[in-house]
Amino acid sequence: MSQYDDNENSNQNKATDITNNDESFEILDISATSSIDDTLLDTFYHRDTLLPVMVATLDYIDKQINSGLVLPYFADIDVELWQEKAKSLDIYITDETEGRELNLEARGKDYATNILSYPSDLPAAIIGLMPTLALGELIICHDVIVREAAEQEKTVAQHISHLLTHGVLHLLGFDHELGQAEQDEMEQFEIEVLAGLNLPNPYL
């Protein structure tokens, strides 16, 4: 859930609020701070661009669940319930100034990072009653993504796709900072999801 001040929400440009027919996602809500213009949103963060990445990530995870994978943040949710419920996700695009503030507030680190993940953290009993399963919110700092893409010699679109997959995995409870085994697992998930989208290995 969002950790930025509700007063800042009034300054956002609402980019997308959709109900789509895909089985995985019912709602993908995309918004941005006022410094992010509509042209940039349409170029990099249009729902038709982001949705396939989200769906591919969840489809991949569903296959892993069928093979015994347990989702750390949803371990108490019945597998069938998890798989049958449509998911909802909020994405917020920000600039480097606000990104730095949010990272300092959330993680105590005084710099803007590429993506922040805010899991929904809802009890299993509540999720069972809700029409959609809220995954949480991803906050993307576009300035950082552009800079990193240039440094890593990849396109901005490729880097966004990678970070979206990375962020969704965080929302499910996977954390590369817990140790080498967790990092290896998370990176392998990302590589395989992106390969399914015909995107290159982001770690090469």
- Residue 24, pLDDT score: 60
pTM of the model: 0.86
Q: Which residues contact 169 (CB under 8 A, 6 or more apart)?
A: 57, 186, 189, 190
What whole-number distance in Å separates Cα of residue 85 and Cα of residue 97?
Answer: 36
pLDDT digits (tens, 9 = 90+) for 14-35: 333 333 335 566 789 999 999 9
pLDDT digits (tens, 9 = 90+) for 131-180: 899 999 999 999 999 999 999 999 999 999 999 999 999 999 999 877 89
- Residue 27, pLDDT score: 86
- Residue 150, pLDDT score: 97
What whole-number distance in Å separates Cα of residue 134 and Cα of residue 82?
Answer: 11
Identify the residue whose tokens are 């600039």: 95
Mean pLDDT of 31-51: 95
